[in-house]
Amino acid sequence: MLDEIKEKKRRGQLKALLDSMVEGVIVLDAQGKIILLNASIESIFGFKEEEFLEHPLIEAIRNPELDKFLKEVLESRRIRELELEMVSPVEKIFKIRAVFYGKQDEEIRGLLVIFNDMTALRKLERSKAEFVANVSHELRTPLASIKGFVETLRDGGLEDKKNSIRFLEIIESNVTRLELLINDILELSKMDSGKIALNKKGVNLKVLVEKTLEIMKPLIKKKNLAVEVKLDAKYAEMRADQGMLEQVFLNLLDNAVKFNKYGGLIKISGEIIESMYKVSVSDTGMGIPAEDLPRIFERFYRVDKGRAREPGGTGLGLSIVKHIIELHGGTVEVKSKNGEGSIFSFTLPKAG
């Protein structure tokens, strides 16, 4: 009886220790049956210890690759590691470390299995790799164009005055694109670092919108677009980083102009929903296919690869919008029907 009480106390202490760990921990006996697991494992896989106590692990976590790995560790009686990308029962990537404890002639032996969730880290690594690949691709195109026209001019093109001017204009256009791209990359880099500071102050949104529309006026006029602004006077009370908010509107209006139809309409409207300001920018353009909507705020994501070289576009504008709004504690969303235009909306807290 005394030994049983001591064993329960020891188990309780061990359980409390394991429950304090962030990593998931499972203790198996020599037959691969569960004798102890911690709260992190329960949270990750969605079951309770009592449901599978003294059951083979494969019944709790139905993953043949994991089962095979642990059986091999039990047979070899060594420390081994495995990085395992699971699809079922959960969609995660784990670094699994299995440690054999005990000796052949000892009654108590088995495995200590530690699960480190690597999903977020691997996702970040993939995202960085994709970003570098995309940046390289986006830089290569204008650079190749510049190099080609410089070579043409050097090889006698300068003597053709009419064409040489056109070539120089193309080179200038590509240099401008490179400048925009580099500026956007630097802006995103600052935001990703978390070191960017918001300079919040009172912002009159109507004045800010009018200023942005004035900047966009030549492009709006070129496509013969009508603009309708409906913003309540209460928006004068908004607190935000004015420079960043200008950037948001420039990016959203640039898209509304660029992808609108000739003679179309741009609407800028707002409403107050409880403790949030909601602002929307809509257009009457080509719209966005439903399958593209979930990815529209991704860096360098192009809805139509055929229009990937739109003048002035870097493929980073909507990512910057999302970053800026989230830095302010707000959210962004898009609603669209293919062929019927799009509505980009963002919210900002009233309390600044």
Domains of the chain, CATH where assigned: 2-117 (3.30.450.20), 118-196 (1.10.287.130), 197-352 (3.30.565.10)
> What angle in degrees, to the nearest 10, is found between the helix axes of 317-327 and 161-193?
30
Q: Beta strands 341-349 and 332-337: pairing type? A: antiparallel
339's tokens: 């062929």
Q: How far apart are CA 190 and CA 197, in angstroms?
A: 10
- What's residue 306's pLDDT? 47
160's tokens: 């053709």
For the chain, which residues score pLDDT lower than 70?
A: 1-11, 103-107, 157, 193-195, 233-236, 302-314, 351-352
- What's residue 307's pLDDT? 46
Residue appearing with tokens 């019927």: 340
- What's residue 72's pLDDT? 92
Q: How far apart are CA 226 and CA 158, in angstroms?
A: 43
What number of other Cβ atoms are within 10 A of residue 51's Cβ? 11
Under DSSP, the state recorded for 303 is: S
Q: Which residues of 132-156 are buried (b: 16+ CB within 10 A; e: fewer)?
A: eebbeebeeebeebbeebeeebeee
H-type helices in 228-337, by residue range?
242-258, 317-327
- What's residue 311's pLDDT? 47
- What's residue 281's pLDDT? 95
306's tokens: 């055929």
Q: How far apart are CA 90 and CA 87, in angstroms?
A: 6
Q: How far apart are CA 68 and CA 61, in angstroms?
A: 12
Q: What angle do CA 316, 318, 324 make, to 5 degrees?
A: 100
Q: How far apart are CA 289 and CA 271, in angstroms?
A: 27
- What's residue 4's pLDDT? 57
Residue appearing with tokens 């400048």: 179
Task: Answer yes or no: are the C-beta atoms of 255 and 215 closer than 8 Å.
Answer: no
Q: What angle do CA 317, 298, 280 make, to 5 degrees?
A: 55
- φ/ψ of residue 48, rounded to 5: -100, 150
Is-above-0.95 flag for pTM? Answer: no
From its phi and psi, is residue 102 left (phi > 0), alpha (psi between -120 and 50) or beta?
left
Dump strand ranges (E) for 238-319: 238-241, 265-273, 276-283
- What's residue 149's pLDDT? 82
